[in-house]
Amino acid sequence: MWFGVSLLFKSTHVGNPDQNALWEERIVLINAESEAEARHQGELLGKAEEHDYVSAAGDQVRWTFELVERVYAIQAETLEDQTEVFSRFLRAKEVESLLTPFRD
């Protein structure tokens, strides 16, 4: 069975407080026998994706996997063009946040 797994990552600049940390939500497809197995595979993938690098400004940046936020069972028998793989209900403030662009 296919699952959409929402992984949350956090970016921090080493040595700086992370009160304005940048977050990334990444939704991945995982083929698993159960929701628990999909969650476990998501956690392994998230940990494997952690990394550090030096930014253009010379800061040490660290991306860390924080958690599996949610696991969604995909109801489709087969994955094909226009298959719905993710949906959720949102409050007005959540939509406002999603539609607010990042400043460069």
pTM: 0.84
Report the distance separating Cα 17 and Cα 32, nearest Å: 38
**pLDDT at residue 18 in the model:** 67
- Does the pLDDT of residue 49 top 80, yes or no? yes
C-alpha closest to that of 62 among 52, 54, 72: 52
pLDDT in tens, 9-46: 999 887 776 667 889 999 999 999 999 999 999 999 99
Report the distance separating Cα 17 and Cα 57, nearest Å: 17
Q: CA-CA distances (angstroms) from residue 75 to 63, 68, 72? A: 32, 20, 9
pLDDT in tens, 5-14: 999 999 988 7
Amino acid at 97: S
Kindly list the domain boundaries of the chain, sorted by start residue: 2-76+83-99
C-alpha closest to that of 64 among 7, 5, 17, 102: 7
